[in-house]
């Protein structure tokens, strides 16, 4: 069974709309992350959470808002979508925010038209 | 400017051959390095970590770290077609340990 679930796998949105990307992990980890991968840039760190609290935010835009309703959930809300937001978004988790291996989910591919 | 650079961009290796990948960081705050592998349509998966100067071997994979020059390499011995993938070097700071900063990636193709 997959240990990190991301939903949906594919998502198409129109410019200006809002979408929520879902992530659940069943590894018993305490830290969760969001990364973005686009054709133009390598994997890019966005957010990290530990015990449902924001630890690090390297996303310049407030249009990206992580939401953690449970320790093993970290969703990503994106508002006012732009074509440049088109990318694959990966959720990851690790035992803690120290030097631990990060395990990645299968990703959600977002296309903004 | 990209803080973690990788070379080459792509690499073709015959089955059974040796693949050598390079990674250089421009930030001396990065002390911990990882190699990740990503197959098409999947998320990245960690291959190995290296935190100390010298070599670290795990099966067919050997990583080498030189902290003075901030250079990390990965060597894949006896390459298999299943090794065909995108390989990333990733770095993190010791006190933060939160964000992984990924390199630009090297695409490895192993031909039978």
- A69-to-A4, A35, A58, A61 alpha-carbon distances in Å: 16, 19, 21, 22
A99 to B51: CB separation less than 8 angstroms, yes or no: yes
Positive or negative: CA dihedral B94, B98, B103, B105: positive
pLDDT for the residue B97: 47
Pairing outcome for strands A108-112 and A10-13: parallel
Distance CA B32, CA B49 (A): 8
Over range B22-44, report the average pLDDT: 93
Average pLDDT over residues B45-58: 96
Strands (E), chain A: 4-7, 10-13, 19-25, 31-37, 44-50, 53-57, 64-67, 75-78, 87-94, 103-104, 108-112
Among A94, A56, A101, which Cα is nearest to B33's? Answer: A101
Residues of A in contact with B87 (CB under 8 A): none
What integer best gives the mean pLDDT of chain A? 93
**Is B105 in Cβ contact with A42 (below 8 Å)?**
yes
Cβ neighbourhood burial of B76 (10 Å; 0-12, 13-18, 19+): buried
- The verdict on a CB contact (< 8 Å) between A98 and B99 is no
Ranges A57-61, A65-69, A76-80, B23-27, most confident? A76-80
Chain A CB within 8 Å of residue B18 CB:
no
Nearest to B92 among A4, A44, A99 (CB): A99
- φ, ψ of residue A85 to 5 degrees: the values are -80, -10
Which pLDDT value is given to residue B1? 65
Nearest CA of chain B to the CA of A74: how many Å? 15
- Which tens digits make up the pLDDT trace of A11-41? 999 999 999 999 999 999 999 999 999 987 7
């Amino acid at each position: 069974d997959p240990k990190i679930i991301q939903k949906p796998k594919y998502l198409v949105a129109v410019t200006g709309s809002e979408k929520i990307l879902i992530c659940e992990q069943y590894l018993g980890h305490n830290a969760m992350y969001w990364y973005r991968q686009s054709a133009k840039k390598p994997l890019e760190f966005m957010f990290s959470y530990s015990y449902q609290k924001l630890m690090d935010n390297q996303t310049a835009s407030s249009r990206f808002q992580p939401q953690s309703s449970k320790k093993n959930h970290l969703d990503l809300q994106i508002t006012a979508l732009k074509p440049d937001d088109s990318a694959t978004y990966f959720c990851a988790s690790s035992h803690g925010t120290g030097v631990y291996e990060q395990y990645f989910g299968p990703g959600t591919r977002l296309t903004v038209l | 400017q990209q803080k973690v650079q990788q070379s080459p961009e792509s690499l073709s290796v015959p089955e059974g051959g040796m693949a050598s990948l390079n990674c250089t960081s421009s930030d001396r705050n990065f002390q911990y390095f990882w190699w990740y592998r990503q197959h098409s349509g999947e998320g990245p998966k960690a291959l190995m970590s290296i935190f100390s100067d010298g070599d670290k071997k795990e099966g067919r994979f050997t990583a080498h770290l030189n902290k003075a020059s901030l250079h990390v390499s990965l060597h894949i011995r006896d390459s298999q077609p299943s090794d065909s993938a995108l390989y990333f070097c990733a770095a993190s700071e010791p006190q933060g340990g939160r964000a992984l900063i990924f390199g630009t990636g090297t695409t490895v193709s192993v031909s039978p």
